[in-house]
Amino acid sequence: MSDNLPVFIQALSGNTSDRDRRERIWAALQEKWGEDKIWVWDSAGYSEKNLREISESYKWIMRVPETLSEVKEVLENADAEKMRSTTLDGYHLFSTGVEYGGVTVGGCIL
């Protein structure tokens, strides 16, 4: 197993909620590979409850839903002129942070 490749991917039915499966998935992954991993989730995993439960114990990356009022506010106030250029043509980066669910979340807009 490589430390640089995903070690677990599980495709679920479109009718299966990530929120319903997360506790079983986390327990199984911890047992198999331990806690020293970076968890990558889609926006369905972004909830106040999930952030409170994972933020102190895990390293994680998650796409934040653009429908949240906090995200809408950041997007509305993002100044394209202050964004950093990237090596990819047409892409710029802006780092920010917000509090959500009692957790300070660092984020970036791409």
**11-51 pLDDT, tens per residue?**
767 776 666 666 777 777 777 777 677 878 888 778 888 88
| Domain of residue 76, residue span | 65-110
Pairing of strands 59-62, 38-41: parallel
pTM here?
A: 0.59
Q: Assess whether 42 and 56 both reside in one domain.
A: yes
Number of domains into which the chain is organized: 2
Q: What is the average pLDDT across 53-73?
A: 82
List the Cα angle 77/62/16 in 5-degree steps. Answer: 125
Which phi and psi (to 5°) does residue 97 adopt? Answer: -150, 145
User: Taking Cα atoms as reference points, which of 74, 70, 60 lies closest to residue 108?
Assistant: 74
Which phi and psi (to 5°) does residue 29 adopt? Answer: -70, -40
Which pLDDT value is given to residue 104?
82
The conformation of residue 31, written as its DSSP 8-state character, comes to H
Q: Assess whether 5 and 43 both reside in one domain.
A: yes
